[in-house]
Every structure is written in structure tokens, then in C-alpha cells.
Chain A
């Protein structure tokens, strides 16, 4: 059973690259989520991943590297290259980087009044 479980965990680790085609997601702690409010500095609509550069609302105004799926997956969910613009105020929930650096895998993006970003069917 232990072997089976560990294999299952390995496969789970493989699932993000299945979506993104590039690397394993073990760099992210998928067992935790962290929400960060701030201002979008840049939205990169690029392969192999999209990224949001977010400057948080703490006094330090730290910049976060937020990784997303490849653009085609965002497009499938109603996102477009201009969905986020510099200056937009948002709250982003991520699975944080295990390294402790400011960054993570984006799970959800909402405006500060709670509206989901992107077109939702």
C-alpha cells in the first residue's frame, strides 16, 4: 500500500507538467494556499507559462513571481492577454514555493471586491 501511495504522489507531481509541458510542480507546496493582495506590475502572456508580477500591499511592497498555466489553458478558461493590466488591484491565491521565496502557482485571481478575474462561462 505504501508503494502504491508513493507512486500516486509521484503521478500527482507529474500532473502539472502534463498541463504545462515543462517541469514538475514539486517546487510548489500544493498542500497549502496563500492569498496575496497587491498591484499588478506585469502580466506575461507567454509560453511555456504565463506569469503575474504582483507587488504586495505590505509596507515592504515585495514583488511576487506568480506562475500560471500556459496561455492556451487560460484562453480555454476565458482569459486573454489583456485580462490583467499594470496597475490592476487584485488578490491572488497561490500554492506557495517550497523554497520560501515570494512566489507560487496561481490557483485563483479575484478583484479586491471579490469578483473573479477572466470570463467565466
Chain B
């Protein structure tokens, strides 16, 4: 081993080591994306009043650097939205949707939870991503992260396609996701997500991320779906009478 390698090895270990709890930023509380924070008792974000505003769903933006096939798949998907249901979000939709979410920051991992029981483990104990032949493709993918000062840098791979939600972008399972998140104020976390996908994107695609503190929640409250009264009736959903329930999607 060269003298330079010997000299740098301890530094590499320090960089990969998890931060002590007292060094970690406080991201406690419940957060919404900026669009999610505008959701009223109706479920409508404010932006829905402006149909040409696609900002609440940046991953469904046809203006992204899609390949021809990727854009065709996206437009086909958009045409089916009116007749679709889903049980939750999955990754990456959970990071840009209107669902409330929590970040549980610990020395060895950061957990991201949503109220629809999405759960990401972002391992920050210095481990690398699994070797490609060992990866387990799942709806939430495999993530590792590290802290650069107070910025959490996250790499995610092995995200199952098609995604859990009808709002999932039509990326491939070869997609690589790089996120950078930083708390920039007591009530705001900002960052970005860069997606690289050799099959559906012509170049890396970076979208901004921004979360604001939920005004009326101090925790996520989970409950199962016991009362889905939305049932497809011809070419649109209708509301079943109380006591009747639709079949699960």
C-alpha cells in the first residue's frame, strides 16, 4: 500500500462513519411537499385550480428528458388516470406527492415514512449499495446515504416498475436516483432529486424538492382502509351508499 493510501485511509473511514446522534440535524415533525401543504378538506391542492400548472407532479412532466418510448409511455399513462386507483405511493412518488411524511434521523439510518405506510430505509452507516447481482428490487428501492455537513445525500436503486401508484413515472428498474436534502429553516427542508435512467431518459433529470412543516399535525396517524366507497360506474367513479364498499384495487 502506498504512503498516500495509508495516509488517506483514516480519512475515508471518518467520512463513511455514521455521525453521532448529537451531530445530527433535527428533522422531527410532520412535513408536506409545498403543493401538499395546500390540500384542503376536499383533497384538492390549490394548484388544481390552474390546470396548466404541472408543478405538483414534476415526475409526470412530459417536458422532461424522456426518450421517445418513455414519453409515449407517460402520455399513455396520463390518459388512463381517470379510471385508476392505488393503495399508496411507493418511491419516488412518495417524495413528491401530497402525502404527509416524516423523517426519522438516526446515526445509522434515516427513515422516511408517509401516512400511506411507505417506508424507506436510508442506511448511513457507511455501507455501499449492494452489488448489482445481489439487489432486491422493491417498490421503495434500496437506499444508502451520507451526511455532507447538514445535507443528507441519498443514492437509491432497485426500484420496482411499474410503480405502486398510477402517478408513478414510467422509469425503468435500471434508474438511479440521487437526492440531496437539507433543512434550511425551522419549517423548511429543500433539495433536489437527480434521476439517471439509460432506458427512459436521454440525460440526467434534476427536479427540485421542498417540504414545509404541516400546520396541524405532530405525527402521522395510521389507519387501514375500511371504507372505500368509490366504485367504478361505467366510465367514471361514483360514491356507493354508506355501508357498501368497493373491491380493493
A contacts, CB < 8 Å to B: 4-5, 7-27, 30, 42, 44, 46-49, 51, 53, 65, 67-79, 95, 97-99, 101, 103, 105-109, 118, 121
Contacts and interface: CB of A to CB of B under 8 A. Distances in A.
B116 interface: yes
Contact of A22 (B115, B224, B230): B230
A119 to B, nearest CB: 8
**Most chain-B Cβ atoms within 10 A of its Cβ — which of A18, A30, A108?**
A18
Interface stretch (B50-58, B133-141, B155-163): B50-58
Interface stretch (B1-9, B94-102, B180-188): B94-102
Given A18-B98, A65-B239, A24 B84 contact: yes
A62 to B, nearest CB: 13
A71 B216 CA distance: 12
Contacts of B165: 21
Label chain A's interface by main secondary structure: mixed
Given A22-B85, A76-B215, A47 B227 contact: yes
A10 B40 contact: no
12 contacts: A8-B52, A19-B39, A22-B230, A24-B82, A25-B44, A27-B237, A42-B242, A51-B239, A68-B43, A74-B41, A107-B42, A107-B44
B223 interface: yes
Contacts of B52: 4-5, 8
Contact of B43 (A65, A69, A78): A69
Interface of B: 35-36, 39-45, 47-48, 50-54, 56-57, 60, 62, 75, 78-79, 81-89, 97-100, 115-116, 165-167, 214-217, 220-221, 223-230, 233, 236-242, 249
Nearest to A8: B52
A7 B82 contact: no
